[in-house]
Amino acid sequence: MVHFKSSTMLPCALFALFVPLLVAAQSPEGTISGPTTSTEAAGYSCDASKCQLPNCNCASVKPPGGLQPSDVPQFIVFTADDAIQSYTLDAVNQFLAHRKNPNGCAPKMTYYTSLGYTNYSLVTDWFVAGNEIADHTVNHVGDPSAGEINGNLIALNALAGIPLASIKGFRAPFLNYSVDTLKRLYESKFTYDSSASASVPVTDPNSDAFWPYTLDYGMANDCLEVPGSCKGEPKLPGFWEIPMYAFFDNLGAAGPHLMDPWLDNANGASAINDTATLEYMKNTFTAHYNGNRQPIGLYTHPIHVSRSVPGSTASNSTVNMINAFLDWAQNQQNVWIISSEQLLDWVQHPTPVSQLDQLSSLKCSTPQVDAKICNGMPSSQAGLIQHCAFPDFPFYTCYGCPQDHPTVEKPNPPQQVADGQQARFRLPQNCSTPFWDPIKGECICTSSTCAFADGSRPIGPNGANLTGGGTGTFEDPASSSTTYVPFNNALPSVSLDILPTLILGVVGAFIGTFGVISRF
């Protein structure tokens, strides 16, 4: 796929390791250089009389639900990709922690998480604070196998205690997805993908800046790039695409900036110029705001703008510029900073700005938990988190250190349990994260307001060993040599699935290593 250009296939795991060296040299992943679709290539048609909200929505530049643009909030979708570490959360916090939305609540964002170098207890904390945790594969690979997608889901459930029902979304590493990727997500009961580019300005009559839409009538973005998609394919009823909306500099359609626009040169210049970047970000925002109010996206790789990571070369000027953009945007009426899942909820329930206080997904959410349990609330987990001292990347978890790092083949390894110690209990399907005590194996929710049942993904025949509570210890010796059964209860196709992944993983690691050597 041509447009998913990335200067390197360096996996994020390696990237994180060498980040102090690489920040300056590395081009970001997720850049585009021009339109990725056309009306002709899309060949899109959708029957709006049959395709109706909340479970079907035709691709359209017009707001959902027939709302007038003046009744539509201007959403800024804030996302981050790759490993969750203290450094990356620091980076996000420098943009969001001091902000409030128009209803006085703290903004939420979506973290597309890959597992290498991820600190699982921070994932739990970030999630319990109300942010969305989504899938970005185990090993940060493009065009991922089902194992890469589902292994991430299982490991985040097992070691970070994220309910399977809450892991709704996916973004492909390098934005490199295929029709098969979308089908795999559909089979694994994901709600949405957010890997496609909206690459034509909203001021162009053929803009592809569609509001999120379902794939009942196929894809309408990236039609020039993804073989076998568009012209009605793939048909995945009820499965959503949340396009990623590019910014455009003075070159217009020839100057798109998708992820981390602050790392790009504006207007064809030969160096980064934060002033020029700020100007075109404002111009694109205004075009959306004065038009059909399609969302604006700040799609970040936070490590690039982390000032706490050792050896950081992040520019203060760039960080200040991003905050200046958000300050400026928030000074306008009806501007909200939200996560992908909040955007999707609004699209499914299009609510005029005058009634937004009725939409529960935009409300403040702070679970009330006072008990000292290891649950993702920093005040109640001090001293209870376990340190998993793997030499290459140590991490913390409430859910019991595994014997090995999660892998595609074994996304939920057995726990390491010291002599005389009790294994920790993984999140069951009938308790939500803030109320689960993984030490006692007890749900402290006693009221209907915190009641929870996760029926999002039926567990396959041996899936009970992998998700939905327990201690992650395999009781059936036969099952420890297999992986897991897909969530759709299909027969295992493990051997076919893993082999190419293993090969890709080895090749990827080699290329990554070679890339590092060749750069230095």
Q: How far is the CB of 338 from Zn ion (least distance, A)?
A: 21
Q: How far is the CB of 300 from Zn ion (least distance, A)?
A: 11
> How many angstroms separate the CA atoms of 296 and 289, rounded?
9
The CA-atom distances, in angstroms, between 59 and each of 121, 194, 246, 287 are: 38, 14, 17, 19
Candidates 73-81, 161-169, 292-300, 493-501; binding stretch for Zn ion (CB under 5 A): 73-81
Residue with smaller CB distance to Zn ion, 32 or 374: 32
Q: How far is the CB of 355 from Zn ion (least distance, A)?
A: 37
Residue with smaller CB distance to Zn ion, 81 or 135: 81
Q: How far is the CB of 30 from Zn ion (least distance, A)?
A: 7
DSSP characters over 352-392? -GGGGGG-GGGS-------S---SS-GGGTTTTPEEE--SS
Residue with smaller CB distance to Zn ion, 64 or 173: 173
Q: Phi first, then psi: what are they for 197, rounded to 5°?
A: -100, 135
Q: How far is the CB of 81 from Zn ion (least distance, A)?
A: 4
Measuring CA to CA, which residue among 120, 112, 168 is closest to residue 140? Answer: 112
> How many angstroms separate the CA atoms of 477 and 434, rounded?
32
Site size toward Zn ion, by CB under 5 A: 3
Residue with smaller CB distance to Zn ion, 37 or 79: 79
Q: Phi first, then psi: what are they for 293, rounded to 5°?
A: 55, 35
**Strand locations in 276-424 (E):** 296-300, 335-338, 386-388, 395-397
Among 81, 216, 264, 409, the residue binding Zn ion under the rule CB under 5 A is 81
Q: How many helices (H) and strands (E) does the chain have?
A: 11, 17
> How many angstroms separate the CA atoms of 520 and 281, rounded?
34
The distance of Cα 125 from the centroid of its chain, to the nearest Å, equals 16
Among 173, 243, 255, 460, the residue binding Zn ion under the rule CB under 5 A is 173
Measuring CA to CA, which residue among 449, 428, 447, 424 is closest to residue 373? Answer: 424
Residue with smaller CB distance to Zn ion, 177 or 399: 177
Residue with smaller CB distance to Zn ion, 123 or 423: 123
Among 82, 241, 341, 497, the residue binding Zn ion under the rule CB under 5 A is 82
Residue with smaller CB distance to Zn ion, 81 or 216: 81
Could you tell me which residues come within 8 angstroms of residue 381 by beta carbon, excluding any fewer than 6 positions away?
A: 121, 372, 373, 374, 375, 398
Residue nearest to Zn ion (CB): 81
Q: How far is the CB of 174 from Zn ion (least distance, A)?
A: 7
> How many angstroms separate the CA atoms of 139 and 151, rounded?
10
Candidates 2-10, 169-177, 227-235, 341-349; binding stretch for Zn ion (CB under 5 A): 169-177
Q: How far is the CB of 56 from Zn ion (least distance, A)?
A: 30
Contact between 144 and Zn ion per CB under 5 A:
no
Q: Are strands 192-193 and 169-170 parallel, antiparallel or unpaired?
A: parallel
Residue with smaller CB distance to Zn ion, 181 or 351: 181
Q: How far is the CB of 79 from Zn ion (least distance, A)?
A: 11
Q: How far is the CB of 3 from Zn ion (least distance, A)?
A: 16
Residue with smaller CB distance to Zn ion, 136 or 410: 136
Candidates 81-89, 371-379, 381-389, 458-466; binding stretch for Zn ion (CB under 5 A): 81-89
Residue with smaller CB distance to Zn ion, 117 or 289: 117
Candidates 58-66, 78-86, 118-126, 401-409; binding stretch for Zn ion (CB under 5 A): 78-86
Q: Is the dihedral of CA 488, 492, 494, 496 positive or negative?
A: negative
**Amino acid (one-letter) located at 161:** G
Measuring CA to CA, which residue among 126, 87, 90 is closest to residue 110? Answer: 126
Q: How far is the CB of 224 from Zn ion (least distance, A)?
A: 23
Residues contributing to the site for Zn ion (CB under 5 A): 81-82, 173
